[in-house]
Chain A
């Protein structure tokens, strides 16, 4: 079988890849946020769990189901031919923390997407990134109908460290999400500069 592929193919460019995570409670708009900036329709990867999820999964009525799948949605932004940024939405359920560890490894930074109506849903993510010293930014998704609160009120409610950026956003709007990601990277840069300064003194 002959394939119509050129034999004079150029060596493919090997891009530098980076990732940013989008965390937050269930239904806060993580996949919407990923989709707003991704150049591809958000893709979904699944990891099959057979044993790990069993003790806590309520399988009444679906006894035949022996595996659980955890989905992670992600998008891609090709910044240059040799520089690609992946944005991963983290699985919403807390019991999949072990997948967060894998996602968080080598991450440039993270967004904690928050809904002012359910701020408590963000605590786990804030806590996770604080403990692992991963630079993160809190982005308040301004849902229609949700009360608007001053940034300082949200900051106090989440007990954020003063250096953690907090921004208001609309997870559906590309420009808004772009600004959130820029804030994450700027924060990561500041942190990197601080750590380097510490390392040299």
Chain B
């Protein structure tokens, strides 16, 4: 893998649009098979078995990219979408695939109906004040 091969879209200006339409990366799927809708702030954490995703022939380059980034430091769905410059919906499907294949798992943010723990809120306040 050479540097020049990293970003094939680099040659085109923004007006030309992406060379590969984003949902082609998901083979046309707009939702994933996982039971839970992945929250924007759900953190993607690679499983210990996912040490070298590039060797997994079943993964697309985008899948590999996601795992590699999260191996460096676990990232949220929103951060992955921003850094890969992909729509959130596409990242959700790709991460959903990785969850299904047990290559990564995602943290579950506080369910909507539940109140965040008061101790956590207190820690947030202290943390903000200490910034």
**Which residues in A have some Cβ–Cβ distance to B below 8 Å?**
1, 5, 7, 9, 11-19, 37, 43-48, 69, 72, 74, 76-77, 79-80, 83, 85-86, 88, 102-103, 105-106, 108, 174, 178, 181-182, 185-186, 188-189, 192-193, 195-196
Residues of A within 8 A of B109 (CB): 17-19, 106
Contact at B120–A16, with CB atoms within 8 Å? yes
**B residues less than 8 Å from A46 (CB atoms):** 81, 87-88
Q: Is there contact, CB below 8 Å, between A182 and B45? A: no
The residue that B121 contacts in the complex, of A69, A80, A174, A185, with Cβ under 8 A, is A185
Shortest B18–chain A CB gap in Å is 10
Interface size on B, residues (CB 8 A): 42
A45 and B81 within 8 A (CB) = yes
B116 close to A79 (CB less than 8 A) = no
| Residue ID in chain B nearest A134 by CB atoms | B112
Contacting residues, chain A, for B89 (C-beta < 8 A): 47-48
Q: Which of A18, A47, A83, A185 contacts B41 (CB 8 A)?
A: A18
- 7 shortest A-B CB distances, which residue pairs? A79-B127, A43-B82, A17-B41, A45-B81, A192-B115, A189-B121, A48-B87
A-B contacts, 27 listed (Cβ < 8 Å): A11-B48, A13-B74, A15-B74, A16-B107, A17-B41, A17-B42, A18-B109, A18-B110, A18-B116, A18-B120, A18-B124, A45-B81, A45-B87, A48-B87, A69-B87, A74-B78, A77-B128, A79-B131, A85-B124, A86-B40, A103-B40, A106-B41, A106-B110, A178-B128, A178-B131, A185-B128, A189-B125
Q: Distance (Å) between the CB of A45 and the closest chain B CB? A: 4
Given A17-B109, A79-B128, also A47-B121 (CB < 8 A): no
B44 CB → nearest A CB, Å: 10
- B5-42 to A contact mask, C-beta < 8 Å, 1/0: 00000000000000000100000000000000001111
Q: Assess the A108–B121 pair: CB atoms within 8 A.
A: yes
Does B128 contact A192, Cβ atoms closer than 8 Å? Answer: no
| Shortest Cβ gap from B75 to chain A (Å) | 10
Determine whether B49 belongs to the interface, using a CB cutoff of 8 Å to chain A. no
